[in-house]
Structure 1
């Protein structure tokens, strides 16, 4: 078990940090043996400008959240807390807290594997090399985009699509250490408080995950794993940000409210609408595998999609819309299954309709529950069809079997326990692999993190959590966007890119490693929403032998 020390500025911690330490204790891969408490904590810089402080106070009040990541808790209230406390009076300079040689000698006797920094100011010198695996520290921002602070502030003010967050092993240079975890979330367009609350809650699981990976993989494989996260050699050139002065803050504040006012008016005037598009593969160029580099291997698919003659399946009932299409061909007939959404109740059922080659037949509801249903994933097993719709609102995944395909389905029972968004099944190496998005914390977004489970059986499965979970932590390519498919030697997982907004576009992820203890993928291409002039987004793609289906997002 790894021995862990915690750097703090006192007895109290923010709720997100308390949750992080609780998770470390709960999982049992690391033991918190020492609290290293700063007895003379100081601010890391001069007092922030008045207008900035006023804005933050108003923002916190207006956008107060029930699950506040920054509420205070006592570290001694941790479950099964047995750690010893070591009091330190650091040698304080203008921006740094230096640890004396006497205190360093005392720390060495604890034989710490990891120190997690939750207090003190900038650290330099021998303390950074004292624990076996370094001093771990959070930076709530993408250090390739901005360094310094305030956390999660400039992304909102500058209208950036995503807000990054990292866990790094500290080095002598500020925000330039070895990154061991990266993640991205959609930036809240209106509130720094809400933006920071989501990011901090999500980031609290980074350290427990990396401790678990280190224990599971061993030192050598763990180092190889984190090496893949490193950028090209050289210093980061991102700007060093600080709280804005009064004039800049006033301009930012005005711009924020004007932009959001215009956005809200536009969204109120034009409501979101989804529709389904279908194209015959007879219109497509032949797809052949190329031995070129992976980044160009999918160009034939992308080009053929863009060249396709897509037919929009527009509902005459404007109170509903259709999305998440899945297509099945059987007995010389083509059926589309999809989310059938009622705009008034804001709840969806699963419906189907037959595609007649030039038009869609009558839409028939087939599954309706008291909870919202979407993403009707279809799977054929031993001659029977099964449907696994998203039912995250219910807190379970249910399996439905076709008693009479395609119009009569029965609920077989709970197939997966727990919240699961856009469930996607893949069979490989005698195992069933289940890809689902899940929230690491209920205050977080369902778009950010992809989890993987596997089972030896399809019916009555026993799901095993993949040790690398979440296998993706990036709003730009986490959430599933349709069935996994093969393209030559490539195995492609369609993924939603919701960095700009929900349903922006689809990324094509090449799965390069899939086993019980390893998962890797990389982006090889992306599908924009330019297959129709009225569409501004797309988030599901599926195909059958003769047809390709997509959905499209617009504002009517």
Structure 2
């Protein structure tokens, strides 16, 4: 993740809703649920790009922590028993280069993560040998390019990755790759790139959802500034040769709100269906430090 401008402070909140593309602040929750002030093991300037996973009834959230000592993003985690109240744990992954967007997922009883490490090149897969800690690199899925906000999902017995392969943050290019196995080999989809020259909809903005055979992708709207909004798209046709999508009419899913912690913009969502049938989502937002703080 790249900060939109100097003075922007990112925090993490929890939203809820009946469907993942129509979510709002949860009345049970005092947002933001996590800020840089909650980070206890290093001086931090912000937290952002949250991804959740529920394991044995406990929610684990992984997110970017910007370490003030080296000005780099590292991956930390927090836990919650109910998805509403969160306790910071510690940093669990760092590299010589900036990390963000820790896309965590489970496959065949193991826990994996694809963090963005575009400054290190490629798309790297990590596995937790002692979840939620013990993350070790096990494969490089794609090499060479500087891929941003890579979002993996499985559909119809095949793996897919959306990624921003554009050269500039404000000029993203949405590319799509596919593979028969998680570790590859990965090949670019015949319909890729999916979006070019459209900063409103090209850059990935959170977890891709597959619900009742419906595939939803979220996109950051990086115009007029990085981190302004999140939009949602239903993928109506997806195969090894074809790709068709439509924008969901309730867009934007997330956007700036008043003079609160998210008053500057919002750019990320990871929604999970609860056992009651609704949806709980971790989101992030920013405000400019010279504006008034508030909660919602």
TM-score of the pair, normalised by structure 1: 0.45
Gaps in structure 1 of 5+ consecutive residues: 1-266, 288-297
Question: 1:484 maps to which residue?
Answer: 208
Contact (CA 8 Å) 1:329, 1:544: kept in 2 or not? no
Report SS of the residue matched to 1:393: helix
Question: 1:366 maps to which residue?
Answer: 92
Gaps in structure 2 of 5+ consecutive residues: 275-279, 290-296
Offset of residue 362 of structure 1: 3.0
Whether 1:273 and 2:6 are equivalent positions in the alignment is no
Contact (CA 8 Å) 2:189, 2:241: kept in 1 or not? yes
Matches within 5 A, 1:274-423: 274-279=10-15, 281=16, 284=17, 286-287=18-19, 301-302=21-22, 305-306=23-24, 308-309=26-27, 310=29, 311-312=31-32, 313-316=34-37, 319-343=44-68, 345-357=70-82, 359-418=85-144, 419-423=146-150
Q: Deviations over 1:282-331 (max 9, x none)?
A: xx4x44xxxxxxxxxx8xx42xx225335212232674211000011111
Change (3 A) 1:409 1:451: same
1:539 corresponds, among 264, 267, 271, to 267
Contact (CA 8 Å) 1:438, 1:446: kept in 2 or not? no
Contact (CA 8 Å) 1:321, 1:343: kept in 2 or not? no
Q: Choose between structure 1 and 2 for higher RCO, CA contacts under 8 A separated by at least 6 residues.
A: 2
Change (3 A) 1:308 1:531: farther
Whole-angstrom distance in 2 between the partners of 1:458 and 1:487: 20
Offset of residue 487 of structure 1: 5.5
Consecutive aligned runs of 4 or more in structure 1 exceeding 6 Å deviation: none
More strand by share: 2
Question: 1:464 maps to which residue?
Answer: 187
Report SS of the residue matched to 2:202: coil
Contact (CA 8 Å) 1:329, 1:545: kept in 2 or not? no
Contact (CA 8 Å) 2:10, 2:35: kept in 1 or not? no
Contact (CA 8 Å) 2:53, 2:105: kept in 1 or not? no
Matches within 5 A, 1:75-474: 271-279=7-15, 281=16, 284=17, 286-287=18-19, 301-302=21-22, 305-306=23-24, 308-309=26-27, 310=29, 311-312=31-32, 313-316=34-37, 319-343=44-68, 345-357=70-82, 359-418=85-144, 419-439=146-166, 442=167, 444-445=168-169, 447-459=171-183, 461-473=184-196, 474=198
1:513 corresponds, among 199, 221, 237, to 237
Contact (CA 8 Å) 2:123, 2:142: kept in 1 or not? yes
Q: State the number of aligned residues.
A: 266
Task: Provide the aligned C-alpha RMSD in A.
Answer: 2.2
Q: Deviations over 1:162-210 (max 9, x none)?
A: xxxxxxxxxxxxxxxxxxxxxxxxxxxxxxxxxxxxxxxxxxxxxxxxx
Whole-angstrom distance in 2 between the partners of 1:543 and 1:324: 13
Whole-angstrom distance in 2 between the partners of 1:366 and 1:376: 11
Whole-angstrom distance in 1 between the partners of 2:132 and 2:258: 29
Offset of residue 512 of structure 1: 1.8
Contact (CA 8 Å) 2:51, 2:102: kept in 1 or not? yes
Offset of residue 491 of structure 1: 2.1
Q: Deviations over 1:5-35 (max 9, x none)?
A: xxxxxxxxxxxxxxxxxxxxxxxxxxxxxxx
Whole-angstrom distance in 2 between the partners of 1:529 and 1:391: 27
Whole-angstrom distance in 2 between the partners of 1:404 and 1:420: 27
Whole-angstrom distance in 2 between the partners of 1:346 and 1:447: 24
Whole-angstrom distance in 2 between the partners of 1:483 and 1:508: 11
Offset of residue 529 of structure 1: 2.7
